Amino acid sequence: MSGPLPRLRVLDMTRVFAGPWCAQILGDFGADVVKVEQPGTGDDVRRMGFRNADGGGETSSFQAVNRNKRAITLDIGKPEGQATLRALVAKSDVFIENFKAGGLAKYGLDYASLSALNPRLVYCSITGFGQDGPYAPLPGYDPVFQAMSGLMSITGVPDGQPGAGPNLVGYSVSDINAGFYATIAILAALHHRDTVSGKGQHIDLALLDAQIAAHSHIAMNHLVSGRMPVRAGAASQINTPWQAFETADRPLMVAIGNDKQFAAFCRVLGLPDLPADERYTTNRARMANKPTLLPALQAALMAKTAREWMDALNEVGVASGPINDFGAVAEDPQVKHRRMFRQLPGQDGNALPMIANPVNFSDTPVDYRRPPPRLGEHTDEVLRDWLGEDA
C-alpha cells in the first residue's frame, strides 16, 4: 500500500454518503478500509443514482463514495456475526458507524463494549442529531439538515424577484461536510492516541452540527451584527460586486475582493469614474448603493462575451469565471491539467470514471487501487487477512 496511512485498519459500517465519504478519504490516503454491509441488501446507495448504459455495475452514487475499500457482509443480528465483527474490531484502528443513536448497544457493538475489547480503537459515530439531546432518536437525511441548519434560508432567489424562495444546495452538502469533519476528527484522535494517551476515544458527530459549523462567516455575521442573512441568489452577502452578471453570450461570475480590484474592474469595463463616486469608493458604500451600481455594471458587461471579459479581467488581477456545467468543467484546461477526472479499471474490465481526490502529497501520493466493491466481494479474503480464518 502507498499513501500516508498504509498501516491503518478501518472498519466502515456506514451507509449512504457521510460515513462512506469519510472512509473513502481514509482509503485514498492508504488505509486498509473494510466496508461492512448487511447480507443481501447492503448499502442503500447501491440502489440510488444512475447505472452505465447497459444497466450493469454499481450505481453512480455508490461509486462516488466507495472506492479503495474491500467489502464484506455480516449479519450482526446473529451471535456469529457479532462475534466476527468483534474479532475484526480487535484488529482495527478505526470503527465508523452511522446507526441511530444507541442502535448498536443491543448487539454489544457500542463504544463502551468495543473499547473494552480494543482500548486503542477510535470509534466514530455519525448521526443526524448526535448521541444526545431531544432530537437524538430522530432519523434524517441531507435536505432536513439543509433546512434545519439555516442553509436553505440563505440559498435561493431573493425576495421580490421572479422565482423567489429557498432552495436546496445542488448536492448532499450536509453529508459531505460531515464526512470531512469525521475524517479530521479521526485523524486528530489517532494522533492523540499515538503521541499522548495510548488509547482511542469516541467521536460523536452530528450532521446538523456539522452543517451549522460549516456556515462559518455567514453565521458569524449574524452573531456579530444581529442582522439576519438573506437569500442573495448568485451574489455575496458581504461584498459587491461579487455575483454573476450576464454578458453577450453567457453568465460570468465576478468576485471583487477590495477597492483596488474594483477600480481595475471599472477601468476594464470603460467606467473609470465610478470608483471616485462617493457612493462606490468602499465596499461598505457599494453594498449600500447596489441598486444604482449593479445596473451600470450589468449594462457595460453586455458589450462583450464572457471569454473576452475573462481575458481582460485576468490581465488586471480581477477574478472571474464562467458558470460551467459538468461537461464544461471536464473540458476546462486547468481541470484537465490537474487530472480531476480520471478512470479506474472497473470490475468488468472496462474503464470506470471517477473524480480524483484533490489532495496532492509530495511523497505519499493518493493511490487509486480499488474500484468500488461488489456486495460481500472480499468477505473470505478479509477474514483470512485479518483473522487467519479459511473460507
The answer to whether 232 and 221 have CB atoms below 8 angstroms apart is no
The answer to whether 366 and 29 have CB atoms below 8 angstroms apart is yes
Taking CB atoms within 8 Å and a gap of at least 24, the contacts of 323-331 are 323/234, 323/244, 323/250, 323/251, 323/252, 323/253
The answer to whether 174 and 146 have CB atoms below 8 angstroms apart is yes
Strand spans (E) along the chain: 9-13, 32-37, 69-73, 94-97, 122-127, 156-157, 165-166, 202-206, 242-245, 252-255, 319-322, 341-345, 351-355
Which residues make Cβ contacts (< 8 Å) with residue 101, sequence separation at least 6? 125, 127, 129, 130, 131, 132, 136, 137
Task: Please identify which of the residues 175, 194, 325, 390 carries the catalytic annotation.
Answer: 175
Task: Give yes or no: 132 in active site.
Answer: no
- Which has the closest alpha carbon to 266: 301, 234, 238, 291? 301
**Where in the sequence numbering do the catalytic residues fall?**
175
